[in-house]
Amino acid sequence: MLNDIMIGQYLDRNSIVHALDPRVKILLVILFVISLFISTTLIAYSLLGIFIIVSTLLAKIEFRYILRSLKPLIFIISFTLIIHLFLTKGGEVLWQWRFLSIEEEGLNLGLFMAVRLIFLITFTSLLTLTTSPLELTDGLERLLEPFRKVGVPAHELAMMMTIALRFIPTLLSEAEKILKAQKARGADFESGNLIQKAKSLIPLLVPLFVSAFRRADDLALAMEARCYRGGKGRTRMNELHLAAKDYVIGILVTVFLLTIVILS
Amino acid sequence: MESLIELKDVYYRYQEQEDEDWVLENIDLEITAGEFIAIVGHNGSGKSTLAKLLNGILLPTQGEVRVGGKVTTEQEDLWQLRQQLGIVFQNPDNQLVANIVEEDVAFGPENLGLPSAEIRKRVDEALRLVGMTDFARAAPHKLSGGQKQRVAIAGVIAMRPDCLVFDEPTAMLDPQGRQEVVETVEHLNRQEGLTVIYITHFMEEIINADRILVFADGKVELAATPKELFTKVDKLRDLALDIPQITELAYQLSESGLDIDTNIFTSTELVEELCLLK
Ligand SMILES: Nc1ncnc2c1ncn2[C@@H]1O[C@H](COP(=O)(O)OP(=O)(O)OP(=O)(O)O)[C@@H](O)[C@H]1O
Ligand SMILES: [Mg+2]
């Protein structure tokens, strides 16, 4: 179970959203987030909401996956809502109990902020649901490439992400193994206060780090033996190519989002 | 025939001090194209060091190493040399780079800067040669040890090398995985004509080698064919090496007075030999 967490939540479907070039998707998500933060009107938000729903349908992703992505953030969303409900004052008083009161402005702003967060999370998770980690890394590498001249190590970052994706499951299962081995030797990971608990992690972390460094050593050796010498002169098996559909969809969505921003 | 790999008077030590012991001492070796060379020897006898000298990861303190006529100390030829001579290491987990099998196999050819279509072709071919075509889109961490090791082999042969070096490729595998890897290696040597240098602790795996080199304390102690070597049971014991169990059994049977040949490597051979007894 642990293993599947990091491989991302990517769902392999045969849809037009999946087939879109990752660079286009990343740029559109950024544009969406910007529009989301600029627009303030109800109309704009309704349109953005419809846009999310249509994209999800086109991507052939069931809504429960989208909802699932909200789960870890329910706390933050409700927190935002409650803070605004009680602390933002102005307008008609809707409800009062001793010193606590909810006023119109608070309700509006609270709901508005909550919806903004929900839109933000659902749309970005649509990106990771429809784009494999590998495509994402490739897309990011290519998008960052122009910034290489100002010192952004585009290839190195992408290579780090690739290796992290490859080794996180390995290290997780190793951590599990060490945990069991230490428990079998009587190590206690559960009882005690916070400090004691943190201390009890040492026999887990030390062997894990030692092994991670050994793996890194081995991997560097193996990569060198396979002629790796950085990003220079390296080609890819699956080069990214912008097709007609990427341009068409990219332009259409951009126009749509810009219209919303201008209208609001 | 022209030799593919040539070591001339090679000495190596990790530290540069004069009084430091040699890790490899006076190694003279010639390997012809297409040969299957096995290397055995006790822990710390310098086998892995030799493997790293072959592709220029380590450079000899004295002497020279040549692969396909190119010297490992020549910086310009180094990448071409590493394309020509690939190494498969012991731990299958620590040599796979990408989180999808075919992407990993593509890693080497990508480093060579080949065009996409050519990489695709080589990846498919390499996966087919190791029998992993069905797993092309799988994640490495979901494969068995033997399968991972075959992916690692595919990653190296996708670079179209002339020679493959294996440094204890089966040491971390279960019997099933070992079998898979050994069969793959023998296939690559016989059918594809690749030169193989195979380092191992398991004598059973190298009964089909053309030559076995026995390393001890950084020197080549013995060089012989499997048939010659496994009859030197006492000598091998002195060097703290095993012999194949069947050979050992035949040897002990003959020691205890049975009139049988000790030149036996498989159980079928032993059964036949025993049936000949009156
Ligand atoms: N990086 C290093 N720095 C210093 N000494 C090393 C290094 N690597 C190996 N050695 C030493 O060199 C000698 C030969 O090591 P090598 O790894 O080549 O042996 P090996 O035959 O591969 O052994 P094994 O069967 O255990 O794999 C050993 O004595 C070892 O301690
Ligand atoms: Mg070794």
- Give yes or no for residue B83 CB within 6 A of ligand 1: no
Residue % of chain B over a pLDDT of 70: 99
B186-201 average pLDDT score: 94
What is the structure's pLDDT at A89? 80
Within 8 A of A239 by CB-CB distance, chain B residues are 116
Element (H, E) at A187: none
What is the structure's pLDDT at A1? 37
Tell me the pLDDT tens digit for each residue of A19-66: 999 999 999 999 999 999 998 888 999 999 999 999 999 999 998 888
- Chosen for mutation from B85, B102, B111 (greatest number of chain A CBs closer than 10 Å) is B111
Quote the CA–CA distance of B138 and B105 in Å, as a whole number.
Answer: 12
Q: What is the pTM of this model?
A: 0.84
A231-244 average pLDDT score: 88
- Calculate the average pLDDT of chain B: 90
Of the candidate ranges B14-18, B84-88, B130-134, the one whose mean pLDDT is the lowest: B14-18
Q: Quick one: pLDDT band at residue A3, thresholds 50, 70, 90?
A: very low
Quote the CA–CA distance of B143 and A219 in Å, as a whole number.
Answer: 18
B11-36 average pLDDT score: 89
Nearest CA to ligand 1 atom 25: B43
- Chosen for mutation from A226, A232, A234 (greatest number of chain B CBs closer than 10 Å) is A226
- Give yes or no for residue B44 CB within 6 A of ligand 1: yes
Of the candidate ranges A56-60, B129-133, B249-253, the one whose mean pLDDT is the lowest: B249-253
Number of A to B CB contacts under 8 A, please give it. Answer: 99
- Calculate the average pLDDT of chain A: 88
In chain B the domains, ranked by start, together with CATH numbers, are 3-243 (3.40.50.300)
Token readout for A42 is 């109800």
Element (H, E) at B195: strand B195-199
Tell me the pLDDT tens digit for each residue of B96-122: 999 899 999 999 999 999 999 999 999
Q: Quick one: pLDDT band at residue B265, thresholds 50, 70, 90?
A: confident
Shortest distance between the Cα of B209 and any Cα of chain A, in A, equals 24
3-state DSSP assignment of residue A125 = helix
| Complex ipTM value | 0.86
A129-137 average pLDDT score: 88
Contact B111 A219 (CB under 8 A): no
Contact B110 A235 (CB under 8 A): yes
**Residue A242 clears pLDDT 70, i.e. is over it:** yes
What are A's interface residues with B at a Cβ cutoff of 8 A? Answer: 3, 7, 133-134, 162-163, 165-166, 169-170, 173, 214-215, 218-219, 221-229, 233-239
Contact A234 B111 (CB under 8 A): yes
**Residue A100 clears pLDDT 90, i.e. is over it:** no
CA B51 to centroid of ligand 2, rounded, Å = 9
Residues linked to residue A103 through DSSP beta bridges, in sequence order: A93
**Residue B194 clears pLDDT 90, i.e. is over it:** yes
CB atoms within 10 A of CB B1: 7
Q: Which of A95-104, B177-186, B256-265 has the highest mean pLDDT?
A: B177-186
CA B47 to centroid of ligand 2, rounded, Å = 6
Q: Which of A14-18, A61-65, A94-98, A216-220 has the highest mean pLDDT?
A: A216-220
Quote the CA–CA distance of A239 and A131 in Å, as a whole number.
Answer: 15
What is the structure's pLDDT at B1? 58
What is the structure's pLDDT at B128? 95
What is the structure's pLDDT at A11? 84
3-state DSSP assignment of residue A53 = helix
CA B14 to centroid of ligand 2, rounded, Å = 15
Nearest alpha carbon to residue A113 among A79, A90, A63: A79
3-state DSSP assignment of residue A103 = strand
What is the structure's pLDDT at A2? 43
Q: Quick one: pLDDT band at residue B267, thresholds 50, 70, 90?
A: confident
Helix and strand tally (H, E) in chain A? 12, 2
Q: What is the DSSP letter of A214?
A: H
Sheet of B62-67: strands edge to edge? B24-32, B3-12, B62-67, B70-71
Of A7, A225, A234, the CB nearest to B86: A225
Q: Quick one: pLDDT band at residue B226, thresholds 50, 70, 90?
A: confident
> Which of ligand 1's atoms lies nearest the C-alpha of B201?
25
Token readout for A74 is 């329910």
What is the structure's pLDDT at A85? 85
What is the structure's pLDDT at A4? 44
A78-105 average pLDDT score: 82
Cβ atoms of A9 and A65 within 8 Å: the answer is yes
Residue % of chain A over a pLDDT of 90: 45
Q: Quick one: pLDDT band at residue A5, thresholds 50, 70, 90?
A: very low
Residues B192-221, buried b or exposed e (16+ Cβ, 10 A)? eebbbbbbbeebbbbbebbbbbbbbbbebb
Q: pLDDT: is B164 or A67 the higher one?
A: B164
What is the structure's pLDDT at A6? 43
B29-50 average pLDDT score: 93
> Which of ligand 1's atoms lies nearest the C-alpha of B218?
14
**Residue B260 clears pLDDT 90, i.e. is over it:** no
Within 8 A of B103 by CB-CB distance, chain A residues are 134, 237
What is the structure's pLDDT at B126? 95
